[in-house]
Structure 1
């Protein structure tokens, strides 16, 4: 195993993520540090970054380097984004940082920054076409993609910090101030001819401001899942947050549930930029992405091919990574998945579900045992928790929750009592589907009880009030069949048929 640190010096925040890179090709983010350095805040009129900001950056980087040294991390990728591109003292800042810390910051171009953002998003979200917006402190990156390939991109010279300072949005604002900022942002968008031809595409938001909008809405709705990535918001919901924040002074903003106090002063500027783009591209659907530039750098480091072409299947890419990092018995998981898929396909007459649900079976089958990483006993509960809270990409929140329940079903039914907790996301019809697919995972795992692949396939016949499952085996499968028959009552509840296994 190797360790990698990615340092991102932004206009507003300086962050470092630490990543474990495992020998099997999987990865896991294991630590993160961040400091609101606000490097370009109060920059002079002739674009000089002030000495106290540079010293604060140096102190932050020295702190990051101590953590790297303590954890024996020698592979460090330090990048500098929008903060210094327009600074007149760019060269002296880089030299001063290197002399004080030994860290040689790489200054990314706006295009490089946008491409890394795209790589971070496209490999973690199953969306074919859209517009990505990354709002930083000093710039906004826009990426338009179709068929998962970049069509247009831009780096605009404004951000939350610069807008807040330019239009005086730190505290209580007047209507004319908001008119001015909206006119300014609209004029910036007018400079992008390709943006005028886009309509009705989803907007994918990257950065802390988008995450905060999502968190504010989740708090307001009492949303049952505490998951930020791939959280869906409507255009109307984002606009309502904007209209509400316009009326508040700084103290009022700091009392908003879900809004970080560190972002309270710049939140209004971020919302102005978001809503302006939503209006410009006539987008009704907005998604939050918790992955962006740093993840794009990580993906390129793991597999340089991802810089050329994104993964063709986000869910499979994520499942391979999670299976690898938790050292799961992948062969057993694949056999369980294969057997469950086979039964699903042969029982279409009973469940009447479309092929889209195969993704849930595949996810549950591949991850059903990852909870054993914590403890064998009650590992179905641990599996559920890890699937809900881990970096499982490629599913929306409803499908992710359903797949987690299906995976947990393989051991006991006791998690049924938790269905009601998530009533805002799943309904009675979804619960019926969970029961139908969960029992297939449960039977499939029984068919590989010895984890040796004794049962290689099944054929299912629906005869009267029974489903007869015939097993193809390479050796004595009496243990596997006996174990599978313990699911007979659950199967009958789900499908209304007796289970017969031969």
Structure 2
């Protein structure tokens, strides 16, 4: 059967289509995405502005048409932090549904972490023992740990790369501003650390998300063109060397680095600060990069329900 997922994130709206059936590996059929940056369409009152609503509605309608053309059996749609935190979030969802016929479901931050954890468990398997998953998006940071497919603990913190980038002035930002963000990040992560560490020492640390893949690529990991089955990892020591280098560069200069697109060059510094802090506080020397994340986890969860 052919399934599709529309994932509405703080930065990107992404349609993933896979051919799959219960018990089989979901095989990607097509991927369609657009950088909408919904988090930048938030007013001072926290509302999604008219332009953001219009762009989102237009692209969801485009995704629905693509799904119909590809013969999808079921199309699931989910929204994350940008809309779930907006006071007019429900009005945005109603507008999209009325205009496109597609209902978008709101995922909590904890559910994001749990679904992504399922994807990493399926990718690395039971032999990995206790997993510790790290996932960063535009609006939030998700952390989870467990020995099963459902984590023992899953948390979400408002430490997304896009969110933090909007608090940094200057290009590149001043050393003072960057220190302030670094301190804020480390305080929030440390305050939640006991929730995760009380379950014991993980056997494997796993990172997902575009930001982590980009950081790994900048630190020497294989390019995406080599395929998903090539082992990729991110070393804390290499990341610690990379952060000051990123901090000294403008967003345009960062695009010369491997794995950094023009669309994400501004926020990769904030993402690096968050991931370095997470690895440091939890004593992670190396993150194994997982090509599966939230979208794949949603599809796996749906396949399990069908079975």
Same fold (TM over 0.5): yes
Matches within 5 A, 1:155-234: 155-168=156-169, 171-192=171-192, 193-195=194-196, 197=198, 202-218=204-220, 226-227=226-227, 230-234=231-235
Q: Does 1:61 align with 2:60?
A: yes
Greater shift in the superposed pair: 78-87 or 37-46: 37-46
Q: String of CA shifts for 1:366-404, please: whole Å, max 9, x gaps.
A: xxxxxxxxxxxxxxxxxxxxxxxxxxxxxxxxxxxxxxx
Matches within 5 A, 1:102-501: 102-126=101-125, 127-146=128-147, 150-168=151-169, 171-192=171-192, 193-195=194-196, 197=198, 202-218=204-220, 226-227=226-227, 230-304=231-305
Q: CA deviation at 1:297?
A: 1.2
Q: Does 1:70 align with 2:60?
A: no
Equivalent pair of 1:137/1:162 in contact (CA under 8 Å): yes
Matched with 1:95 is: 94
Matched with 1:52 is: 51
Greater shift in the superposed pair: 297-306 or 229-238: 297-306
Equivalent pair of 1:228/1:288 in contact (CA under 8 Å): no
- Could you tell me which runs of 5 or more consecutive residues in structure 1 were left unpaired when the two chains were aligned: 307-502
The number of equivalent residue pairs is 302
Larger radius of gyration, structure 1 or 2?
A: 1
Q: String of CA shifts for 1:17-45, please: whole Å, max 9, x gaps.
A: 11113598553111001111111214122
Q: CA deviation at 1:149?
A: 5.5
Q: Secondary structure at the match of 2:269?
A: helix
Distance 2:239 2:226 in 1: 18
Q: More helix by proportion, 1 or 2?
A: 1
Equivalent pair of 2:22/2:306 in contact (CA under 8 Å): no
Distance 1:226 1:106 in 2: 34
Q: CA deviation at 1:49?
A: 1.0
Distance 2:244 2:202 in 1: 22
Q: CA deviation at 1:73?
A: 2.0
Q: Residues 200, 303 of structure 1: CA spacing in aligned structure 2 closer, same or farther, 3 A cutoff?
A: closer
Matched with 1:40 is: 39
Distance 2:151 2:12 in 1: 27
Q: Secondary structure at the match of 1:263?
A: coil
- Could you tell me which runs of 5 or more consecutive residues in structure 2 were left unpaired when the two chains were aligned: none
Q: CA deviation at 1:185?
A: 0.6
Q: CA deviation at 1:98?
A: 0.8
Matched with 1:426 is: none
Equivalent pair of 1:25/1:302 in contact (CA under 8 Å): no
Q: CA deviation at 1:145?
A: 2.0
Q: CA deviation at 1:254?
A: 1.5
Larger RCO (CA under 8 A, 6+ residues apart): 2
Q: Secondary structure at the match of 1:123?
A: helix
Distance 1:28 1:200 in 2: 29
Q: Residues 23, 110 of structure 1: CA spacing in aligned structure 2 closer, same or farther, 3 A cutoff?
A: closer
Distance 2:223 2:27 in 1: 27
Q: String of CA shifts for 1:26-85, please: whole Å, max 9, x gaps.
A: 531110011111112141222111111111111211211121121222410111111211
